[in-house]
Structure 1
Amino acid sequence: MTGPARPVPDVDRRWFKRFGRSGPAETRLFCFHFAGGSASLFRQLPQQLPWYIEPVAVQLPGRADRFTETPYERMQPLVDDLIEVMEPLLDKPFACYGVSMGARVSWALAHALRERGLPQPRELFLAASVAPACDDGQWEWDGREDGLVGYVRDMGGTPVEVLEQPDLLAGLLPTLRADLTVLTTHGFRPATPLDMPIRAFAGTEDQEAHPERMADWSKETTGRFDLTPVPGGHFFDAEGQRQVARTIVEQLT
């Protein structure tokens, strides 16, 4: 016999989206969205993974159903709060998959888990993010005459209907600005690299995080490093996302 279903805590529902996926799994895959994005980026992922890999998409404050909450502007409090809500879910092997800003969050989280003596990811899967070694204080969105709006248009991840609606765009920009501030103020330079495998996914036409700038993620681990070019720009298309999912399954199986 099985006991009554455990109620899902409110904090779990706010932070973690499973998009209908339920049942036993052997490995959890925590997924972290890009700056200005939301957990919905990973809505199709449960259909692309086998039963033994459970995708858990993280929803940061300031967007979607957490729109009224204040977004983070610094990495350390973001990671501290993540660990607090994630710790009950670290009871089985897990990996992290981060896209753009989410890649940096995954990397910072892995270091924080190690520092605290907590379970660490089996592997980091990092997509569309410049390696930390490439940080030089210059950021693609700074100093543009067309500001953040021009940056958003160039990156190509925002629906046209949002870009053409000033009110919708105005609602997006404060959260995006806060997310980008998390990146520009981090400046983390760990003395000791991680020791887990890192797999980087780089869009071949990505002007910001092209394969050459993602290759330096190899410096962030003493473990295995692999770089997988994916056709397209900063935001992978449907086929690119399926390619990423297939590679993750191969690595975690």
Structure 2
Amino acid sequence: MNNKYTHLIMFHHAGGNSSIFYDFTKYCSNDFNIIQLEMPGRGKRRLEPLMYHIDDIIEDFSSRIPTNGNIVLFGYSLGAYIAYVISAYCRKKESKRNILLVVISNEPIHCRNKFSFLGIGKQEYQQKMLLQFIQKLGAIPEWLKNSPTMLQRFLRVLEADLYVADSISEEQSFPLDNIPILAMYGNKDPLMNTPPYRWKECTRHKFNLVEVLGGHFILSEKGFEIYKSMIDFIHAITFNHDL
């Protein structure tokens, strides 16, 4: 690979921001031109209003996708779904461009369960359900639990991101055209009862499923292993031009 021509475009998990990729990108810096796309309302974009619909996210991110070169779209948890719809957008724009999708820690997009508690009941109920969801993942650090203001801010961001996930249409979940998919998951991920093998139904190109020892947040636990699996998959793909 040549980092002059291959872009690694990264999409973070729900409630998070692009800082989650800080350690992981150290493995990738010699292989790719790295682009970390951050949803508004957090991180470096914290002063911007939150978005609640996938169409707004597509419009926001599409102008940030390079128009030239091969692209590897890398989505983590919620980011897997955003990477998926962005890859479909890129394919529609350019039918012959080399595009590859890496999805981590999420169910296949066409098999996803919606967050039925959104928009139901009082605010206290919403917050309770959001806390239950994130606690299931073991993802709330003590410092956040001990700061009511920061916790409320986090829950607002998380809620908006879950609305984005629920707004993805059936049409936006259709199989991808000529886009290989590498799916990776933690064997102890509490959100998955079975391996997400049905990601293979989401592409008409090559597919591979990799199991990693760990829970939902395997990127921080097994970063190098994930990087190595991604590189191996890329090397195994044959495109019209080398990726």
For the superposition of Structure 1 and Structure 2, which TM-score range results when normalised by the shorter chain? Answer: 0.7 to 0.9
1:54 maps onto 2:36 in alignment = no
Structure 2 unaligned blocks of 5 or more = 236-243
**AA paired with 2:76?**
V
Q: Secondary structure at the match of 2:185?
A: strand
1:45 maps onto 2:27 in alignment = no
Alpha-carbon distance between aligned partners in 1 of 2:137 and 2:197, rounded to the nearest angstrom: 20
Alignment partner, residue 197 of structure 1? 180
Tell me: CA distance 1:125–1:81, structure 2 relative to 1, closer, same or farther (3 Å): same
**Cα deviations by residue, 1:4-38 (Å, 9 ceiling, x for unpaired):** xxxxxxxxxxxxxxxxxxx9633110010000100
Alignment partner, residue 91 of structure 2? 114
Alignment partner, residue 14 of structure 1? none
Task: Assess if the C-alpha contact under 8 Å between 1:38 and 1:63 holds in 2.
Answer: yes
Alpha-carbon distance between aligned partners in 1 of 2:175 and 2:220, rounded to the nearest angstrom: 36
Alignment partner, residue 67 of structure 2? 90
Alpha-carbon distance between aligned partners in 2 of 1:138 and 1:170, rounded to the nearest angstrom: 19
Alpha-carbon distance between aligned partners in 2 of 1:67 and 1:81, rounded to the nearest angstrom: 15
Tell me: CA distance 1:191–1:105, structure 2 relative to 1, closer, same or farther (3 Å): closer
1:161 maps onto 2:143 in alignment = yes
Alpha-carbon distance between aligned partners in 1 of 2:69 and 2:97, rounded to the nearest angstrom: 10
Percent of residue pairs identical: 21
1:105 maps onto 2:105 in alignment = no
Q: How many residues align?
A: 228
Alignment partner, residue 18 of structure 1? none
Task: Assess if the C-alpha contact under 8 Å between 1:140 and 1:208 holds in 2.
Answer: no
Tell me which of 201, 218, 226 is aligned to 1:236.
Answer: 218
Post-superposition offset of 1:142 = 9.1
Alpha-carbon distance between aligned partners in 1 of 2:219 and 2:92, rounded to the nearest angstrom: 36
Structure with the larger RCO, 1 or 2 (CA within 8 Å, 6+ apart): 2
Q: Secondary structure at the match of 2:222?
A: helix
Alpha-carbon distance between aligned partners in 2 of 1:251 and 1:65, rounded to the nearest angstrom: 32
TM-score (ref. length: structure 2): 0.84
Post-superposition offset of 1:47 = 1.7
Alpha-carbon distance between aligned partners in 2 of 1:51 and 1:252, rounded to the nearest angstrom: 15
1:65 maps onto 2:47 in alignment = no
Post-superposition offset of 1:115 = 2.3
Post-superposition offset of 1:186 = 1.5
**AA paired with 2:51?**
Y
Alignment partner, residue 8 of structure 1? none
Alpha-carbon distance between aligned partners in 1 of 2:115 and 2:154, rounded to the nearest angstrom: 23
TM-score (ref. length: structure 1): 0.81
Task: Assess if the C-alpha contact under 8 Å between 2:24 and 2:220 holds in 1.
Answer: no
